[in-house]
Amino acid sequence: MRRRASLVLLAFAVFFAALSPLLRWYAFPRLAKIPPNQYQETVLEAKPATLLDYSTLTAKKVDKLTIVQTLKGNVEESEKIERSAGRDVVVWDTLSYVQGPDGKMVSKIPERYIFDAHSQAPVHATGEMVDGDQVSRKGIEFKWPFLTEKRDYEYFDAQTRTSSPIHYKGTQTFRGLEVYYFEQTVPWTKVPMPKTMPIKITPEQIAKTGMTRWYTTKRMFWVDPVTGAPVNGEEIHREEMRNAKAMGMPKDTVTVFAGHVKMREDYIASIVDQVKSQRVLVLLLTSYLPWGFLFLGAALLALSLWLEARSRRPGTPRPHTAPEPVPDPEPTPA
């Protein structure tokens, strides 16, 4: 009986020991994925800010500038691309809408970002664009990979349409979460004019005058290393028009926008709560269950060996007793 029980325990030990790496290296890449229908809205503010007044063609101080970033998963497009890519793909249609203190539009930049649902690596397909310009992204944008590492990543900048390193600067605690802090500085770079502007003039008309648009930013992210989701983001952002006298402006270099852009407090709280719930699911597949099954398999193996040893232990010998004497047969009478 003991030997049969030890064999059953041995079978369970092998099962759980084999299940441990399968969960981490087989199930995790197939189950931990960005949903194709995700929708998210984030509001950022610069308080105060410097903004170009197009009515007077001069820069002025304003109390607040608001940036509304919306992200919407395009399920139909992702399914089309998946058929040719042979893997799970997510298509995000995003919009960065900038409005002044009066609520009027300053600029709006649409994007289409196509990437692998698990690794977040860009997938190049028809429709990948920034503000109507076709691009070929390199590196990440918006989100880091699951199980983010303490290293630099290539990060795509939508203004310059190029990628450059975003540097890991250390580990910090943010709202009760251990996060990785990343920082990227984009030097002054000539960038395209937005297709949609608050004045009735096209980028082609501006280009003919010789006026150019330049941009620099210091980008900061606090990233949850388990889910790869940024829980906070800030930018110290500057834009200028150069050779502006060609458009009748009083100065040759005019500030279009300057300010320290920060995520609004209520959106930070919402994102942190969401990340805290999602990271448990990732940890179940990468840490809790694999290690738990491994220790359970080891415990079952030890118990199986103990029972096997008990079954093979020799029994206690019986005490030796002398045989009873056999009586002599009675003599037969003559």
pLDDT for 154: 97
pLDDT for 131: 95
User: Using one digit for the tens of pLDDT, what is the confidence trace for 167-216?
Assistant: 999 999 999 999 999 999 999 999 999 988 887 777 788 888 888 999 99
pLDDT for 334: 47
- Alpha-carbon torsion, ordered 47, 50, 52, 55, to 10 deg: 70
pLDDT for 320: 54
Can you read off the two tokens belonging to residue 27? 């199930």
DSSP annotation of 203 reads H
DSSP annotation of 166 reads E
Tell me the C-alpha distance between 244 and 252, whole Å: 5
Percent with pLDDT over 90 in the chain: 62
pLDDT for 113: 96
- For the four alpha carbons of 8, 14, 17 and 21, in that order, the dihedral sign comes to negative
pLDDT for 11: 86
Q: Which residues of the chain have pLDDT under 70?
A: 1-3, 313-334
Whole-model pTM: value is 0.86
